[in-house]
Every structure is written in C-alpha cells, then in structure tokens.
Amino acid sequence: MPQMVFINLPVTDLRRATAFYQSIGATKNDMFCDDTASCMVFSDTIFAMLLTHEKFSQFTSKKIVDAKSACEVMLCLSADSRDAVDALVNKATRAGGAGDPCPTQDYGFMYGRSFEDPDGHIWEVAWMDLEAAAKSQPAAADA
C-alpha cells in the first residue's frame, strides 16, 4: 500500500474551511467528519484534516500558531501542467483565499505559485518537467 499523508490544519470556521477546500477540488470524506473535523481528500494518498481549534488542541500542548501572522510550514501540491498550477491558484482566489502570498517561481522546467486559505495556511502548487530538470543539472563530479 502506498504511504499516505494526513495534513492536520487548525481552522477557525470549519464550515467555511470545508467549503473553501471543496471549491478548490478536494472532496469531503463524510466517514471522518463531524462537527469538529472535516476530512478533505486531494488524492488516494493525500488528505487534509480540518480541525476546530478545540479539536486540534487535543493533539498537542503547544500553542496554535495564527497562520495569518506567522508561518510554520508551507505545503505543496503537484500539478500536471503550468495551466493546472494557474487554475488551482485562481480557484483558491475565487473561493476566498489569497493568491500568491509567496513569489511565483518560474525556472522553465519548473513553475510554481501559491495561495493562502482563509485561515492563512500557505499552499504551493508546482509543476515540473522532470526530463528537462534532469538535463539542466550539471553532471555529478566523480568521487
């Protein structure tokens, strides 16, 4: 079985956060949802668990960071093309997120943009042409 990734995100308004993630293409898995949590599915192996602050606090004794004023992590999803990168960032912006809180990255073989969800969590979206990336790397030095 492939390894799965569960990203736990504290949210201030579960209903708003759930609607935002549905608007950008994630689906809600009702089996793992209640009035304190929404399980949002990006793929067979990538899930975002949206948790109320009260629920999130059950898993840690640390203070929950205000993602609108501090950055602890940036998450990244891959995309199949440059157009798909732009489309996802545009969806996020139309759904109430902020587009491009981080600088756009365009290296020819790699293209990335970002968006911020309504709670301030930063997501990057990146496309990479792996063949072109391999060709652009200098040959490894002999050991």
Note the pLDDT of residue 138.
Answer: 63
Amino acid at 103: P
- The pLDDT averaged over each successive group of 10 residues in the chain (143 residues) is 94 98 98 98 98 98 94 94 98 98 96 98 96 71 46
List the domains of the chain with CATH numbers: 1-64 (3.10.180.10), 67-137 (3.10.180.10)
Note the pLDDT of residue 142.
Answer: 45
pTM: 0.88
**pLDDT tens per residue, range 23-60:** 999 999 999 999 999 999 999 999 999 999 999 999 99
